[in-house]
Amino acid sequence: MCLNLGPLVLLMETSPFNEAASRFNNNLPFFKSQMEPLSYYTNSGAPWFEEETERLKKHFSVEKLDILQIGKLHKRTPGGIASKLMSLGLVDSYQELKKYDEYKNSSLYKEALSRNQKQGTTVFFKDVAPPQPVIIAKPKGYIYCMSNPSMPGIMKIGMTMRTPEERLKEANKHDTFKPPTLYQIDFAKEVLNPKIKEGILHDLLERYTERINPQREFFRVSSTEVYRFFQLVDGAWWKPLDNSPPPATKPHS
Query: Phi, psi at residue 161, to the nearest 5°?
Result: -90, -5
Whole-model pTM: value is 0.45
Is the pLDDT at 176 greater than 90, yes or no? no
Confidence (pLDDT) at 186? 95
Confidence (pLDDT) at 126? 44
Is the pLDDT at 163 greater than 90, yes or no? yes
What digits encode the pLDDT tens for the residues 112-158?
A: 777 766 655 443 344 444 445 555 567 899 999 999 999 999 999 99
Is the pLDDT at 106 greater than 60, yes or no? yes
Q: DSSP string of 128-190?
A: S--SS-------EEEEEEEE-TTSTTEEEEEEESS-HHHHHHHHTS--TTS-SS--EEEEEEE
Confidence (pLDDT) at 125? 40
